């Protein structure tokens, strides 16, 4: 945890922060660092508090996109095949982020996942089969590509067991995804590889 002081070291605000840092560290059970951000009458410190550093989850997608941008066309991604949802999702991500990566189509998600774990491809948009690899630390998941947080994630985080979608719910979701991807394809004038 950081305690931001908007004034230079040695002043009253700094001394107070340092006095409370030790008991705060003991109460929270985590390190507490006093960080002086002096200048502009305390506004620099206030700005640092208003704009905290990204969380590790936020930093991972930024790092991923920065790596893609720094290596245009040098990284490869696998999909369950041309025209699959993960393929279209990758196309959408590349178009929105201005990045370039080489598409490697597979005959299904499992062979793509095998090559990802083996290091033969650099990344993939996983339709859900790689969670055990993430949990085991073999893969990193920089982001979840859905418009809202999944109820399944919330249920699992609370220790429950999420039930699969009903056939009707799955059909509705698939129809919505098809409409969204179809609109994207038309709008961007996307053609096959």
Q: Residues 160-168: what's their mean pLDDT? A: 57
Q: What is the pLDDT of residues 30-54, one digit of tens each?
A: 777 778 777 776 676 677 666 666 5
Q: Which backbone phi and psi does 23 adopt, to 5 degrees?
A: -65, -30
**Model pLDDT, residue 39:** 72
> How many other C-beta atoms lie within 10 A of the C-beta of residue 65?
17
| CATH number of 57-188, picked from 3.30.460.10, 3.40.50.880, 3.40.190.10, 3.30.465.10 | 3.40.190.10
Residue 172, H or E segment? helix 167-188
Query: Residue 113 class from Cβ within 10 Å (0-12 exposed, 13-18 middle, 19+ buried)?
Result: buried
Q: Residues 147-169: what's their mean pLDDT? A: 57
Helices (H), 98-142: 109-118, 131-135
* pLDDT cut 70: percent of the chain above it: 75
Question: Where in the chain do CATH 3.40.190.10 domains reside?
Answer: 57-188
Q: For the whole model, what pTM was predicted?
A: 0.52
Residue 62, H or E segment? helix 56-70
pLDDT band at residue 126 using 50, 70 and 90 as cut-offs: confident
């Amino acid at each position: 945890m950081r305690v931001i002081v908007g004034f230079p070291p040695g002043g009253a605000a700094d001394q107070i922060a340092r006095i409370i840092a030790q008991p705060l560290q003991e109460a929270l059970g985590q390190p507490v660092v006093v960080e002086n951000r002096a200048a502009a009458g305390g506004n620099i410190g206030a700005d640092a508090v208003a704009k905290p550093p990204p969380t590790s989850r936020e930093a991972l997608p930024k790092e991923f996109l920065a790596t893609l941008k720094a290596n245009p066309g040098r990284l490869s991604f696998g999909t369950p095949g041309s025209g699959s949802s993960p393929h279209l999702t990758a196309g959408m991500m590349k178009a929105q982020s201005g990045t370039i990566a080489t598409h490697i189509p597979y005959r299904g998600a499992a062979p793509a996942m095998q090559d990802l774990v083996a290091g033969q491809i650099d990344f993939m948009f996983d339709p859900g089969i790689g969670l055990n690899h993430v949990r085991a630390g073999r893969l990193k998941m920089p982001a979840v590509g859905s418009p809202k947080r999944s109820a399944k994630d919330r249920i699992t985080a609370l220790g429950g067991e999420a039930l699969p979608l009903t056939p009707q719910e799955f059909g509705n979701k698939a129809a919505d995804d098809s409409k969204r991807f179809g609109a994207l394809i038309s709008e961007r004038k996307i053609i096959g590889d």
